[in-house]
Amino acid sequence: MSSLRTRTGRVGCSSRRATAARRPSSVLSGGTYVSTNHAAAIDALATREIHGVNLTGSPSRAELESLAALADAGRLRVTIDTEISLAEAPDALVRSRAGHARGKTVIVP
């Protein structure tokens, strides 16, 4: 569901298993891969000098501090796929579940 600029940045992220299977290959050595569905194979990523993080719905203080540090350093960039109204949310959910979203969907007033 979400991906970050990994060729120009140093962080990759995914919340869909299908995407997660492909995304780590685009994270550069020395970068960080974040998964929200435990798709990050921490040991396998470490062999490629990539820091893997499996972020859960109840992140630990250490996980949040790690993400905050990346954001403060300008190394965390979230790709916005689309901005929509609340009325468009059901269609956006269908699009996301079908695997067509290429970033976060932001609901705006």
Pair (56, 105) in one structural domain: no
Full domain range(s) for residue 60:
1-78
Report the domain count for the chain: 2
Pair (67, 105) in one structural domain: no
Pair (74, 84) in one structural domain: no
Q: Which positions of the chain have pLDDT values less than 50? A: 1-11, 14-23
Q: CA dist 37 to 53, 54, 73, Å?
A: 10, 7, 25
Pair (18, 37) in one structural domain: yes
Give the SS3 label for residue 54.
Answer: strand
Pair (27, 58) in one structural domain: yes
Pair (25, 72) in one structural domain: yes
Pair (13, 26) in one structural domain: yes
Residue ranges of alpha helices (H) inside the chain are: 17-22, 42-47, 61-72, 89-97
